[in-house]
Structure 1
């Protein structure tokens, strides 16, 4: 790595960043689709977010196998498999609109989840490796995460524009253009990636016998706590905007139409983009630990303010707006709770790279398998939002935000105490 010219890695880095964006695009489709599912099938908040749960449930089954794939066939082939599976998953979701079937949609979301898991296993260690690990590795992950946020911002905005005012006739087929965009990007990136040379630092070529170690990634306390932290983080990142979308479109709460609510939720993802851009800019100077401490502490304050503020108080916030002439930037009135929730996007923006870097620090040869375990724990992105929306169905929307508040408290603990490597005596070379 030290003797290889960095410019040789430019195209692989671009490909990894593109795939990072697709992870967000397909994953973030589940939350705004919940509004459509509630309309078409009369689903509750808990049922409306099931597409998100199906998507993340796939991580539980595919996380570790994806890590094994990475070791056996390398980054390029693993990524191509993920792209094909993603194309099929989105295709099934498209077919669910034709069949008008809730179950077929959930199947498509589940299959797409396998793809997102595989691509995550490829993208994160690859970007970290190309950046040389440490602060530079974190910086490159933040760059990829910035594009990830850009793609994530576009999804609720596109769905909101396509659906407009939610009626009893609103259905899955109304968002087919979003499905076509996803399948088209998968096809394009897959074609380009097929002809690109990708460095394979963790590929087991079989030329040497690898001695089995009595240790593994599970032997490191800071990794275990970090793996839990990734699950908690993803649950927060997905649960906050997803539940906020339901809150804003509920007649007894925000009372906004789907298009307007979509612009508000898109602003959350836009702030994640801004935060990741800033994180990428300062990532070479500020440690992952410091970033995570500040982000989780401020996130707790914002979540607490959202919970205790009266929903009758409104505030005007800047959002994207759609009109006959196209997209523009303007202001819309929302409950003040939504403003605090939108601002949490700035906090969650830098958490993924920070947690990942802290958790794999000092793992050496166990890094590739650790990445697969990480992806298994991303199932938390399905579990926490389900818990949150179960609370929302029974105790109210704002009460449900105690779930991400407690999650942020755990991340603050991890950044302050849990991230310290107390197993430095384990050989990692």
Structure 2
């Protein structure tokens, strides 16, 4: 086993007696920012489409440029690590995070000249640079958050960090729309209104890079000979984990892509886009609730009663936040509150209670919770397919609650005991985000053949595989143990 040095420890994992609360708190803001900047694309797409008079296909190139970077940069990272050895094993996680933040800042800064020259291709290039930075952050920060403490609570830490990532995705549409369409728009739709917001975002990323550089963070660096080759692929559970990430991200993105079309069906709710957008916040807000509950559930709290009380209080508090955020309306520059009645959200509350019960049944075990949540989503998809009206509608929204912990749990189970291959394995997992680019067209083609409602049968296959991964696929083979 290689010696991985830190300022505190000389082992693969951190010293269990060391308090890493402060450094982890710094990392949490990192997760918030990349969640925020990723969802800003949803605000950016309609604005650029109007400003440049783009077709839907041309506007969709925003997501193609952004998520294409995840695959390309992760693939390049893997190929370089095969030939030269793992990059972050040389740099250290801390320096890898700083590099990612600088690229994010540069990508945001490039929006200014892109707007100045009014070139759509320039915007796409800026997005690619920005997403390249986010990709490196994913490769470095996910395993860093996982190893920054006790190995048995890695899923808890990653769920907590992902919870703040969800907070960023919840706030971004509101804050981004306010800045681009109101504060800096000058009453007209133009690319000039994008300049200042993205300069602000870029400045935040660069300040965060300086903060990471200046604060005391453990610098995990491999001091032994850097191994070359595709060593990570020798671990069977990592390969199963790669397929799990591909299936999960593909299913999650595909479901999200067709939710508004599903809500618009006369047999479901017959909603228009503006109204559907309000309820869509419950879908993403549910993911935030589930991730915070997951962080508490898989923490090292000794007393079950105390843990469940904290989980209940957190569920109520975060639900209240989502409830208030979705009540904010803006018409003609005036803000007011329009709250949904309890009757309107009662089914969501029932599904939240079911979510809580699954955490209790899972007994803080990441693999068991993954199994339960996978079956729950498969069940919700079946309800969507065979039922109509409010039950199918709220079943669709409740999927966010149960998708919540899947990335964190899959990731930590997949990289467990990879040791010197951890960063290479992380890059392979991030590369599998490409599932989000493949599943939506497949479900779209299926929808053309059999209709939107029945097309949700496709992601059921993903969640059945995720159940397998939580049940047997995550287990570390005897061969992998002997090789290490």
The alpha-carbon deviation at position 184 of structure 1 amounts to 3.8
How many Å separate the matches in 2 of 1:92 and 1:248?
37
Equivalence for 2:219: 200
How many Å separate the matches in 2 of 1:73 and 1:364?
16
Equivalence for 1:90: 108
Q: Indicate yes or no: 2:356 matched with 1:301.
A: no
Q: Indicate yes or no: 2:415 matched with 1:353.
A: no
How many Å separate the matches in 1 of 2:15 and 2:288?
33
Equivalence for 1:124: 142
TM-score by length of 2: 0.71
How many Å separate the matches in 2 of 1:301 and 1:406?
12
Matching residue within 288, 311, 316 for 1:273: 288
How many Å separate the matches in 2 of 1:171 and 1:309?
44
Map 1:274-293 to 2 at 5 A.
Answer: 274-284=289-299, 286-293=364-371
Equivalence for 1:186: 205
How many Å separate the matches in 2 of 1:97 and 1:391?
38
How many Å separate the matches in 1 of 2:364 and 2:264?
39
Contact 1:160/1:263 (8 A) holds in 2: no
Deviations 1:328-366 (A, max 9, x none): xxxxxxxx6543322111111100111012212232332
TM-score by length of 1: 0.79
The alpha-carbon deviation at position 37 of structure 1 amounts to 5.5
Q: Indicate yes or no: 2:424 matched with 1:369.
A: yes
Equivalence for 2:344: none
Contact 2:15/2:149 (8 A) holds in 1: no
Q: Secondary structure at the match of 1:378?
A: helix
1:69–1:340 Cα change, 3 Å: same
Contact 1:38/1:48 (8 A) holds in 2: yes
Q: Indicate yes or no: 2:60 matched with 1:43.
A: no
How many Å separate the matches in 1 of 2:262 and 2:174?
17
Contact 2:16/2:149 (8 A) holds in 1: no
How many Å separate the matches in 2 of 1:100 and 1:398?
40
Equivalence for 1:325: none
The alpha-carbon deviation at position 98 of structure 1 amounts to 5.3
Contact 1:226/1:414 (8 A) holds in 2: yes
1:133–1:5 Cα change, 3 Å: closer
Q: Secondary structure at the match of 2:92?
A: helix
1:198–1:342 Cα change, 3 Å: same
63-72 or 11-20, larger mean C-alpha shift: 63-72
Contact 1:80/1:193 (8 A) holds in 2: yes
Equivalence for 2:457: 402
How many Å separate the matches in 1 of 2:409 and 2:203?
32
How many Å separate the matches in 2 of 1:50 and 1:250?
27
Q: Secondary structure at the match of 1:370?
A: helix
The alpha-carbon deviation at position 72 of structure 1 amounts to 1.5
Structure 1 portions without partners, runs of 5+: 316-335
Map 1:372-391 to 2 at 5 A.
Answer: 372-389=427-444
> CA RMSD of the aligned region, Å?
3.3
Larger radius of gyration: 2
How many Å separate the matches in 2 of 1:100 and 1:423?
58
How many Å separate the matches in 1 of 2:393 and 2:27?
33
How many Å separate the matches in 2 of 1:89 and 1:380?
24
How many Å separate the matches in 1 of 2:71 and 2:452?
28
Map 1:155-194 to 2 at 5 A.
Answer: 155-159=172-176, 179-180=198-199, 182-194=201-213
Q: Secondary structure at the match of 1:427?
A: helix
The alpha-carbon deviation at position 370 of structure 1 amounts to 1.0
Q: Indicate yes or no: 2:161 matched with 1:144.
A: yes
The alpha-carbon deviation at position 367 of structure 1 amounts to 1.8
Q: Secondary structure at the match of 2:482?
A: coil
How many Å separate the matches in 1 of 2:247 and 2:393?
21
Contact 1:365/1:428 (8 A) holds in 2: no
Q: Indicate yes or no: 2:237 matched with 1:222.
A: yes
How many Å separate the matches in 2 of 1:157 and 1:250?
26
The alpha-carbon deviation at position 31 of structure 1 amounts to 3.8
1:157–1:424 Cα change, 3 Å: farther
Structure 2 portions without partners, runs of 5+: 1-8, 183-187, 300-362
The alpha-carbon deviation at position 281 of structure 1 amounts to 0.7
1:350–1:234 Cα change, 3 Å: same
How many Å separate the matches in 2 of 1:94 and 1:200?
34
Equivalence for 1:6: 18
How many Å separate the matches in 1 of 2:259 and 2:219?
41
The alpha-carbon deviation at position 11 of structure 1 amounts to 2.7
Equivalence for 1:104: 122
Map 1:414-429 to 2 at 5 A.
Answer: 414-424=469-479, 426-429=481-484
Deviations 1:84-113 (A, max 9, x none): 211222334565555555433333332222
Equivalence for 2:255: 240
1:248–1:22 Cα change, 3 Å: farther
